[in-house]
């Protein structure tokens, strides 16, 4: 049994694409119309037989198990056919799409991506912004016809308006008719004898436009807003593409965004945290009273409902979370220090080092005595 992998020059674990690529390369080199060397025709037959087996999953599986599907009784059904051979010698571009006639001169324009920097407050409530964009618009001189006013396109003399030209190629299958885009009109079927002087026959010109963008509440960095039909006009006045506005949110000095919640830090004196107080906090909704209850602890988080960022598309808002940072006084004068000492005495509090020493004297001494067997 022939080694089909060796004939095609591929490994036994080669992919279908690798097998097809190897076959096409060898088929071009060994085809009788190209190669006149001794044994070229026999090698071409071997290569074709190898590809027939290895390009078909079922036949390849049988071959790997030791059966040759091309042998008498080895199975029927081709692993390749006319389409594979046709693509090998004439390329996949000669398909049905090249034979449908002239292609429209007017085509859809490209999409555009524009970046928009937003303040956090605009993301919270939404905003209306205006953008200046450089894009393609319909030529006002020719109105997209591509021709000088008073003239019109002319039928192509080479392809007679079909947009394609045909030629006869000789192959081992005989004479094959192939089609390709007309080189004179580029497949349009018409030519522009007198192009518009303002757009050079493009049917569109570059211009600066102002776009009004409605930014919904809840957008975040990376959010893209699609503006349908606001992109550049296509060639020959074709349909306009779309504009995608990508949001980039600027950092805020006070608030940090996490999802649709806002976070901020509120610094309060130690005495205010101990005694309790009411603090006015400036938010995007105006001043809000924050009630600090007596004994408020460092790191405590207070939640102000519905003062965060608007939920995108679903309504409602996130929350504002206030993180309390209790400020411990430093640089005390004698009177202030004496007052704190007096407070500690009244509360029965001891110094930290005294507690640590007592802890060490209690726990560590007991541990030491236990290890010593006392």
Report, as an integer, the average pLDDT of 325-347: 90
146 has binding-site annotation: no
Phi-psi region of 214 (alpha: psi -120 to 50; beta: other; left: phi over 0): beta
* pLDDT (tens digit per residue) in 102-157: 899 999 999 999 999 999 999 999 999 999 999 999 999 999 999 999 999 999 99
Q: Which two tokens stand for residue 208?
A: 């600066």
Confidence at residue 204, expressed as pLDDT on a 0 to 100 scale? 95
> What percent of the chain lies above the pLDDT cut of 90?
55
Q: pTM for this one?
A: 0.62
| Residues 189 and 163: beta-carbon distance below 8 Å | yes
Instruction: Locate the DSSP E strands across 139-255.
Output: 154-155, 164-171, 174-181, 190-191, 204-215, 224-227, 243-249
**Distance between CA atoms of 33 and 45, rounded to whole angstroms?**
14
CATH of domain 256-327: 2.60.260.20
Output the CA–CA distances (angstroms, integers) from residue 186 to 23, 104, 152, 154, in the order listed.
32, 11, 17, 14
Report, as an integer, the average pLDDT of 329-350: 87
156 has binding-site annotation: yes
Residue 28 vs residue 239, higher pLDDT? 239
Residue 173 vs residue 359, higher pLDDT? 173
On the CB side of 27, how many CA atoms lie within 13 Å of its CA? 20
Other CB atoms closer than 10 Å to residue 234's CB: what's the count? 23
Listed residue (73, 75, 72, 30) closest to 56, CA to CA: 75
264 has binding-site annotation: no
Handedness of CA 338, 340, 344, 346 (dihedral sign): positive
Strands 190-191 and 154-155: antiparallel
Topology adopted by domain 4-90: Helix Hairpins (1.10.287)
159 has binding-site annotation: yes
Report, as an integer, the average pLDDT of 367-373: 53
Q: Residue 68 above 60 pLDDT?
A: yes
Residue 92 vs residue 250, higher pLDDT? 250
* pLDDT (tens digit per residue) in 175-229: 677 788 899 999 999 999 999 999 999 999 999 999 999 999 999 999 999 999 9
CATH of domain 112-249: 2.10.230.10
Residue-range domain boundaries for the chain: 4-90, 112-249, 256-327, 334-371
Instruction: Locate the DSSP E strands across the chain.
Output: 112-118, 127-138, 154-155, 164-171, 174-181, 190-191, 204-215, 224-227, 243-249, 256-258, 261-269, 277-283, 286-292, 301-304, 320-327
199 has binding-site annotation: yes
Give the distance between the most distant pair of CA atoms in the chain.
Answer: 118
């Amino acid at each position: 049994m022939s080694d089909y992998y060796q004939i095609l020059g591929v490994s036994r674990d080669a992919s279908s694409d690798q097998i097809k690529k190897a076959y096409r390369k060898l088929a071009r080199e060994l085809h009788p119309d190209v190669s006149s060397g001794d044994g070229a025709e026999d090698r071409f037959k071997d290569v074709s037989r190898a590809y027939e087996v290895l390009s078909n999953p079922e036949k390849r599986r049988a071959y790997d198990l030791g059966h040759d599907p091309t042998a008498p009784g080895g199975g029927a059904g081709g692993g390749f056919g006319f389409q594979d051979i046709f693509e090998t010698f004439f390329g996949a571009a000669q398909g049905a799409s090249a034979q449908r006639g002239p292609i429209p001169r007017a085509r859809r324009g490209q999409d555009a991506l524009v970046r928009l920097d937003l303040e956090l407050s605009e993301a919270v409530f939404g905003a209306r912004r205006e953008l200046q964009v450089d894009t393609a618009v319909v030529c006002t001189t020719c109105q997209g016809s591509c021709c000088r006013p008073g003239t019109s396109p002319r039928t192509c003399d080479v392809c007679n308006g079909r947009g394609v030209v045909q030629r006869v190629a000789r192959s081992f299958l005989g004479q094959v008719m192939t089609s390709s885009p007309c080189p004179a009109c580029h497949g349009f079927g018409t030519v522009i004898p007198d192009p518009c002087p303002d757009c050079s026959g493009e049917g569109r010109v570059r211009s600066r436009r102002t776009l009004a963008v409605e930014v919904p509440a809840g957008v975040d960095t990376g959010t893209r807003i699609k503006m349908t039909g606001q992109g550049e006009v296509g060639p020959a006045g074709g349909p306009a593409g779309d504009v995608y506005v990508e949001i980039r949110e600027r950092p805020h000095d006070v608030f940090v965004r996490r999802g649709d919640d806002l976070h901020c830090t509120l610094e309060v004196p130690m005495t205010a945290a101990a005694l309790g107080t009411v603090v006015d906090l400036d938010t995007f909704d105006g001043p809000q009273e924050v009630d600090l209850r007596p004994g408020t602890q460092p790191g405590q988080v207070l939640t102000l409902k519905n003062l965060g960022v608007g939920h995108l598309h679903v309504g409602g808002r996130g929350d504002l979370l206030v993180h309390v940072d209790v400020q411990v006084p430093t640089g005390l004068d004698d009177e202030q220090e004496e007052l704190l000492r007096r407070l500690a005495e009244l509360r029965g509090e001891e110094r930290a080092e005294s507690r640590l020493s007592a802890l060490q004297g209690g726990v560590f001494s007991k541990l030491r005595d236990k290890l010593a067997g006392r």
